[in-house]
Structure 1
Amino acid sequence: MKEIIQKIQNKLDKYPNLKTEYGDNYAIVYPADENGFKVRLDAGDTEYTVSYSGWHDHFEDPDEALNCFGFGLSDNCRLKVYLHGDSEYKWKVEYLKNRKWHKDSETGVLFFKFWQKKKIVYLQNKLVKSL
């Protein structure tokens, strides 16, 4: 098991109510309910990928990847998900500052069911309380 995955497992073992999964190169925290989203970290040979549902980002620095992973579990993070029909096609990470939500970054796909009805949902884990 890679060191970064072991660090995550050691921290999350303090939260026995979390549904987690670990492999040699990945860690996953599943949402507590339908209003949350899956948080995953994949450890490659030269980079780390953190994903929240369909959103993802790449990191060379393991500490930055760990911070991003933890942020996805916190109540200061939410995911704005765009759908056409039942297909997700864009994900925006937002952060809470001064009681207002601000866009951080986004990921999207090129091909989606544009002819179906558009919908936006907000997902938030609230698994870790921010100070």
Structure 2
Amino acid sequence: MGAIDRIVERLARRPDVRFLREGEVLRVLPKDEGGFEVTLARTPAGWSVSFDGWHQEFATEDRAVECVAFGMSDACRLRSWHRDGQPMRWTVEACIEGEWIEGRTTGLLFFPIAAATEVRTRANDFIKI
């Protein structure tokens, strides 16, 4: 049984978690607009995990699954920067000993320059840590 099958089996026991499986792609949907989507996809090179626009590639299944669990937990939050209502940059943050620490950032190469920037912070709490 592969990673996606194992995760789907566990999520199916959680009526509070909505998810979609499309072949080798699993999307865990946010509870509300205060959360973000977590996606796990099998790729030719390994695994890709994304939290909305943020993403990271993994060579091993175990590391990808750990990242999915982290994104579903209350120890993770996602900050996004928007211009003209369009997201342009995402940073993952981890709560370590009660303090939020910035992690990796993903951003677009091209975005509106003249517009004001709005920062949004969202988090999931499917897994309590």
The verdict on a shared fold, with TM-score over 0.5 as the criterion, is yes
Mapping for residues 63-78 of structure 1, pairs under 5 Å: 63-78=62-77
How far 1:102 moved relative to its partner? 0.1
After superposition, the CA RMSD in angstroms is 1.1
Structure 2 residue 105 is the aligned partner of structure 1 residue 82 = no
Give the partner amino acid of 1:108. Answer: G
- Alignment length, in residue pairs? 129
What are structure 2's unaligned runs of at least 5 residues? none
C-alpha separation between the residues in 2 aligned to 1:112 and 1:70? Answer: 31
Which residue in the other structure is 1:121 paired with? 120
Mapping for residues 1-131 of structure 1, pairs under 5 Å: 3-130=2-129
Give the partner amino acid of 2:46. Answer: E
Deviations 1:36-87 (A, max 9, x none): 0000000123310000000000001100000001110000000010111201
TM-score scaled by length of structure 2:
0.96
Q: Name the % identity.
A: 30
What are structure 1's unaligned runs of at least 5 residues? none
TM-score scaled by length of structure 1:
0.94
Q: Which runs of 4+ in 1 moved over 2 A?
A: none
C-alpha separation between the residues in 1 aligned to 2:25 and 2:122? Answer: 22
